[in-house]
Every structure is written in C-alpha cells, then in structure tokens.
Amino acid sequence: AAKNAGRNRYSYFTSDMQAAAQQRLRLTRDLQMAVANEQFELHYQPIVNLRTGGIERAEALLRWRHPERGLLAPGDFIGSAEASGVILEIGDWVFRHAADQAKRWQEELGRPFQISVNQSPAQFRGGQQVFEEWGRYVERLQLAPRSIVIEITERLLLDHSGPVVERLGQFKSMGLQVALDDFGTGHSVLAHLKKFDIDYLKIDRSFVMDLAGDSGDLALCEGIIVMAHKLGLKVVAEGVETETQLALLKAAGCDYAQGYVYAHPMPPAELQAQLRGQV
C-alpha cells in the first residue's frame, strides 16, 4: 500500500508538472497572438509634482485584454513573456505606443509632458538595434527625447555585462531619461547611483506603506531623499495611498508622488480628461 501511495504521489506530481508546462506553453502562444492581434493596452498613472501639485508625467502600465480572461495585469503574464522572449516584441510595442501618446498629449496640452515606460532586464539582453530604431522613431515623431523616462530596476544594475552598461549609455546619449524603479528592494547598489547616469529614484511602495506607523521607514525615506538630492537625482515615492503618507513625504522634501491617493492607473482617455481640466 505504501508503495502504491508513493507511486500515486509520483504520478500526481508528474501530471501536475505536465499540466503546468502545458499551461506555460499555451500562455506563450497566447502572448504571441496577443502581439499580433493588438490585445495590449497601456494604462496611465499620474505622477504628481509635490511642489506644484501638477501632473508632470504618467507611468505607462501594461494591460492585456485577454479574450477569455478579461483585463490582466503584468503580474499575470510578464514572467512568461520574459521567459519566452516575447517581452522583446511587447517592449517594442510599449515604447512606440508610449512615445505616440506623449506626442499627442504634448500637442493637446501645449506643454512638456513625460511618460515613463518599464523595461525588464530581459529587454537589455537583446541587440542594440531595437534601441537605435527607438531613437529614429522618436526623431521622426519630433518628440523631445527627454519626454520618455525609462524605468529600470536595481536587478539590472547588478548585471555588469558589457551590453547592459552599453544600453544604458545608449539611452542617455539618445537623450532619454532613466528612473531607478522599486528602489531599496534589491541588493543595494548605492555605488552604482554615481556610476550610472540616473535621473529619478523611485522609492518602493514597501517603504511608503507603513510610513505613518514605522519610524524606521520614515528615517529610510528621509535618508534616501537627502542622499538622492546630493547626487542630483529627483525622488518619486511609489504607492502613496493616504494623505498622511503624502504629508510626511512632502515634509521630507520628496519631489514627486504616485499612488492611489491621487489615482489608479487608467485608460488614456480618462487621464486626458484630467489633464485638460488641469491646464
């Protein structure tokens, strides 16, 4: 009986693994079709200048309108897109759409407006051609390159390989701006802040969450802000949900905030209505 149970457990295990592998395969195939069938959308979350209260920028956040499963957030599919390499095509789509949108909003508002786009480390392992194409794309649009902020994570800066260093340099020489996302969650890379030419630090939500109750988190945020300013970087606080958090961040000299206290990510038409009301 014991042997039987063991065998059963084993066969359950393999069939589970098979099912998981099959599901991954299906997800990869669906992702490829999603690119071709234009099932992706960008939603935008305002980033607010804490001194002026104005929306200077928005972060483009990817959504997948899945024909059966509805609107999916990146957590549901980015991992598979990275593992299968489909992220390269998706990333290309994201960049071009974000650039188009920045151009449209600038024309509509008659003032500078930036859009940040997220980049997975996997996108840096591709060739440099795609980035050269982006440069030409931005030029053809007659969009000021600094209108695009590339968001990368600390994970990427730990990769000292030639291509990563080169790509980041390439972004900067194209005139794009760079933000270090989820700051504080990686194996910290304080030394790199000086070495890489970064424009914005985004304090991760995990430090903002308990800002009101945890004096340690408050001390960390204050410290990050002072350090960033000394290095000539601007600071964005992510995941700001309450007025109390906002007040503490303002008092600490934080430059920008983004979070549900202002707005959830929303379709472009909704943000456009808000921006229009603001001018």
Nearer to ligand C2E, 30 or 82 (CB): 82
The entry of Mg ion, ligand C2E, none near residue 61 (CB within 5 to 8 angstroms by kind) is: ligand C2E
Residue 37's nearest CA partner among 61, 64, 60 is 64
Q: Does 151 bind Mg ion (CB under 5 A)?
A: yes
| 148's tokens | 């695009």
Distance CA 253, CA 105 (A): 28
- In DSSP terms, 61 is beta-bridged to 43
Instruction: Kindly state the smallest distance separating residue 16's Cβ from ligand C2E, in Å.
Output: 27
Largest CA distance in the chain: 77
Residue 170 DSSP class: H
Residue 200's nearest CA partner among 239, 237, 165 is 237
The entry of ligand C2E, Mg ion, none near residue 245 (CB within 5 to 8 angstroms by kind) is: none
Residue 146 DSSP class: G
Instruction: Kindly state the smallest distance separating residue 226's Cβ from ligand C2E, in Å.
Output: 23
Q: Of all helices (H) and strands (E), which one includes residue 178?
A: strand 177-183
- In DSSP terms, 152 is beta-bridged to 180
x/- track of binding to Mg ion for residues 95-134 (CB under 5 A) = -----------------------x----------------
Q: Which residues bind ligand C2E (CB under 6 A)?
A: 45, 61-62, 73-75, 78, 91, 94, 118-120, 151, 181-182, 205, 238-241, 258-260, 265
The entry of ligand C2E, Mg ion, none near residue 255 (CB within 5 to 8 angstroms by kind) is: none
**E strands of 94-142, at which residues?**
114-118
Nearer to ligand C2E, 259 or 268 (CB): 259
- Tokens 């066969």, located at residue: 11
Q: Does 181 bind Mg ion (CB under 5 A)?
A: yes
CA 140 centroid distance within chain: 25
The entry of ligand C2E, Mg ion, none near residue 174 (CB within 5 to 8 angstroms by kind) is: none
The entry of ligand C2E, Mg ion, none near residue 94 (CB within 5 to 8 angstroms by kind) is: ligand C2E
Residues forming contacts to Mg ion in the complex (CB under 5 A) are 118, 151, 181-182, 238
